[in-house]
Structure 1
Amino acid sequence: MRPARARIDLQALRHNYRLARRLGGDRALAVVKADAYGHGAVACAQALAADVDGFGVACIEEALQLREAGIAQPIVLLEGCFDADELTLVDRHGLWPVVATEAQLQALERHPPTRPLRVWLKLDSGMHRLGFDAAGFAEAWRRLHALPGVAGVVAMTHLARADELACAHTAEQIDAFDRVCSPLPVSETSIGNSAGLLAWPRARREWVRPGLMLYGASRFDGPCAEAEELHPVLTLESRIIAVRELGPGEPVGYGGTYVTDAPTRIGVVALGYADGYPQFAPTGTPVSIDGRPGRLVGRVSMDMLTVDLSDHPQAGPGSQVQLWGDRVRVAEVAARCGGSAYQLMTGLKRVAREYRD
């Protein structure tokens, strides 16, 4: 069997969720959209089910996958309904839709639920993606409360730059949210995504929405003490399948982008960009070889990549190589590759998942 593996630590997942709830102080919505950021939505939801206050998904397809797997906790549709016909399924499965557009609000007014429905109403406080402006939000709030089938409304917004620790935009968004909500009888609010929850105490409201942090990663532009408490959940690893002994001046891999400058041992690892590892990861991107720091050299191929074994005389075929996990942080790999931890995690494919509880 091909040795590429994604090992997923469910205890670390639960630790990160409990950290989110502790920081938030009330209720935490575990965001498991995009197949739980590449970790497996059903397995992660089942691991969290005993603790969780609710789950967040992007769309109704993801919600139905959880319901079919026996997940009974509240599920929020973070992008709401894309079609009015979906409200029948929302009603049947007890889902909580976000209302962020006039079309979504009108659909709900035309198709009132048959049982009490909790709605999340989104304000555009400065992200300028989805959500009502200030005047539209207040009017939508009144219209929702006029519907007999609506049992409650959670006021929410989304932070655009919370990972930029010195940026004033986050405080401005929180202020804008509070200005709009203060004249209304709002009892439940939600601001904090992962970055907001970890770094901005004013974003910690009745509901917080941890996503990336659940999986043990962050992407701050400076030190954040709370982020240091996160435990990596996924370890991407494979093994060396061959070793080459090269002299100086020898090119390695496609395009010859890396050329040896001395006698060099090269390890060939069974993992490549078809597995989701970044194709253009540069020479020097960190790896761990048998638990010791190492580096990638040459261009990543579809099914293989190469590492420098010059400082690893004991390494050879069968040696374990960690691409990211507890020894190599996914955010560090992403930074070297000009991407993000979100992109790397959600881009994983083909590698077998192995869960540890």
Structure 2
Amino acid sequence: MTLRTATAIIDLPALISNFCYIKKQSPQGKVLAVLKANAYGHGLARIANALSESTNQADAFGVARLDEALALREAGITKPIVLLEGFFVHKDLDVIAEYELQTIIHNQEQLSLLCSATLAKPIKVWLKIDTGMHRLGIAPEEFRTFYGQLNQSKNVDPDIILMSHLSCADNAESQATPNQIALFNQVTEGLNKSKSLANSAGICLWPESHFQWIRPGLMLYGVSPISEQLSANQPNLKPVMTLQSSLIAIRNIAKGEAVGYGGTWQAPRDTTIGVIAIGYGDGYPRHAQNGTPVLVNDRIVPLIGRVSMDMITVDLGKNSQDCIGDIATLWGKGLPVENVAKCATTIPYELLCNISRRVQVTVK
């Protein structure tokens, strides 16, 4: 009997399969693979290396923070790296230039710092326009001023990329995305520059948003970025992370007996419960509800009782043949993380990003 503690199995062939699927959606486009938040919990350098060494390679990588970009450079990644939040202070610019990073410009403070700096070499810029997300980006009426100043600055590589971000691309019925595409086209009309608009949902549902660069994030890791109701549009993706642990105890429970902290679940019948070695200390969602699916021996069993720091309990059923040491899959192959997220009133992004450091990692 071999017991397994919480383990995240990272399937790199699945990653490459997802990347190839993405490329087929935009054959002529370049791909900026989004690796922020430790590559959505999958391992920053691990994913970057896989997407650098395969036959189908990413053209650039996107990260949120400067330390993520430097970690990639230190890991030997030489491909272009884009800072998706840009830079925050003047001293960042010297580092960006030294390590040949690229940066988004999305506000006046960044523009002023960049144009007034003394740099050893120019920096490649992605100019972000707010077309409706209302988070980061310059107002459309500011675009010509920003673009003109960037074009005139000796600190800026002349190959400026124009971009925006879609807010409702996962909703095929929303008018927000057509409005954003139309505004983006209007603002950038007449400029012979590369453009970027499509996130994962845009790649799946809005081909007119693809332009020269697409920016897949969630779908790289095998998670659908669109509503399950849009069954005809569901992408052909494979989960890259499978989170597993094992049964460490099996107990017979009589009808009416309570399980877990607070006694919030009582057995509606005589049954057998299993205790699985995983909890919120590993990143399993604390607020997962009774009934959240867990895969044990090729069948779905329900989570019961409160999630503890190190353990969860499941109802294996009265006639269970399961044994201590059997593997339980919390999400991944055979159990989409989307299904678990729904039962935990959250989104797949949060579950993947919250895997803790004590979870063992195995790479296929």
Shorter-chain TM-score: what band?
over 0.9
Query: d(CA) in 1 for partners of 2:154 and 2:318?
Result: 70
Residues 222-266 of structure 1, C-alpha deviations (whole Å, 9 max, x = no match): 325454311100000100000010110000111111110111100
2:43 matched to 1:40? yes
| Pairing of 1:47-196 with structure 2 (within 5 A) | 47-50=50-53, 51-151=57-157, 152-183=159-190, 185-196=191-202
Tell me which amino acid in the other structure corresponds to 1:12. Answer: A
Deviation of 1:41 (Å) = 0.3
1:19 paired with 2:21, answer: yes
Which residue pairs with 2:208 in the alignment?
A: 202
| CA–CA distance in structure 2, aligned partners of residues 311 and 163 of structure 1 | 41
- What is the rounded CA distance, in whole Å, between the counterparts of 2:41 and 2:232 in structure 1? 26
The separation in 2 between residues aligned to 1:220 and 1:312, in whole angstroms, is 38
Change (3 A) 1:272 1:162: same
**Equivalent residues of 1:12, 1:232 under 8 A apart:** yes
Number of aligned residue pairs: 355
Question: Which residue does 1:292 correspond to in 2?
Answer: 299
From the superposition, tell whether residues 2 and 63 of structure 1 become closer, same or farther in structure 2 (CA, over 3 Å).
same
1:351 maps to a residue whose letter is V
More deviation, 112-121/48-57: 112-121
Residue deviations 1:244-297 (CA, integer Å, cap 9, x gap)? 101100001111111101111000000001111111111111111022222211
Which residue does the alignment assign to 2:329? 322
> CA deviation digits over 1:191-231, x for unaligned, max 9?
01111111111111100110111111124233254543111
**For the residues of structure 2 that align with 1:48 and 1:113, how far apart are their CA atoms?**
31
> Within 5 A, what are the aligned runs for 1:199-278?
199-221=205-227, 222-223=229-230, 225=232, 227-278=234-285
Code of the aligned partner of 2:256 = G
Partner Cα separation in structure 2 for residue 174 and residue 44 of structure 1: 30
CA RMSD between the two structures: 1.4
Once the two structures are superposed, what CA deviation does each residue of 1:118-158 show, in whole Å capped at 9, x if it has no partner? 21000000011110111211211111111234221100001
In structure 2, what is the Cα distance between the partners aligned to 1:159 and 1:112? 34
Structure 2 partner of 1:281? 288
Percent pairwise identity: 42
**Which residue of structure 2 lines up, in the alignment, with residue 8 of structure 1?**
10
2: distance between equivalents of 1:149 and 1:21? 33
Q: TM-score, normalization: structure 1?
A: 0.96
- Residue 335 of structure 2 is aligned to residue 332 of structure 1: no
Q: Which runs of 5+ in 1 are unaligned?
A: none
| Alpha-carbon spacing, 1:84–1:227, altered in 2? closer, same or farther (3 Å) | farther
SS in structure 2 at match of 1:273: coil
1:155–1:186 Cα contact (<8 Å) kept: no
- TM-score scaled to structure 2, two decimals? 0.94
Where in structure 2 are there 5+ consecutive unaligned residues?
none
Q: Which amino acid aligns with 1:239?
A: S
Q: SS at 2:103's partner residue?
A: strand
Q: What is the CA-CA distance between 1:313 and the residue it aligns to? A: 2.1
Distance of 2:352 and 2:217 partners within structure 1: 12
Residues 1:47 and 1:281: Cα distance change in structure 2 (over 3 Å): same
Whether the 8 Å contact between 2:255 and 2:271 is mirrored in structure 1 is yes
Letter in 1 for 2:75: A
Deviation of 1:320 after TM superposition, in Å, equals: 0.7
**Cα displacement (A) at 1:5:** 0.3
Letter in 1 for 2:203: L
2:237, 2:127 → 1: CA distance? 30
Determine if the alignment matches structure 1 residue 29 to structure 2 residue 32.
Answer: yes
**Secondary structure at the residue paired with 1:195?**
helix
1:354 maps to 362
Cα separation, 2, equivalents of 1:187 and 1:348: 39
Describe the SS at the equivalent of 1:274.
coil
Structure 1 residue 302 displacement after superposition: 0.7
Q: Secondary structure at the match of 1:323?
A: strand
Of the structure 1 ranges 299-308 and 105-114, higher mean CA displacement relative to structure 2 is found in 105-114
Output the amino acid matched with 2:18.
N
2:329 and 2:93 map into 1 onto residues whose CA distance is 45
- Amino acid across the alignment from 2:260: G
SS of residue paired to 1:64: helix
Whether the 8 Å CA contact 2:114–2:155 is kept in 1: the answer is no
Three-state SS of the structure 1 residue aligned to 2:167 is coil
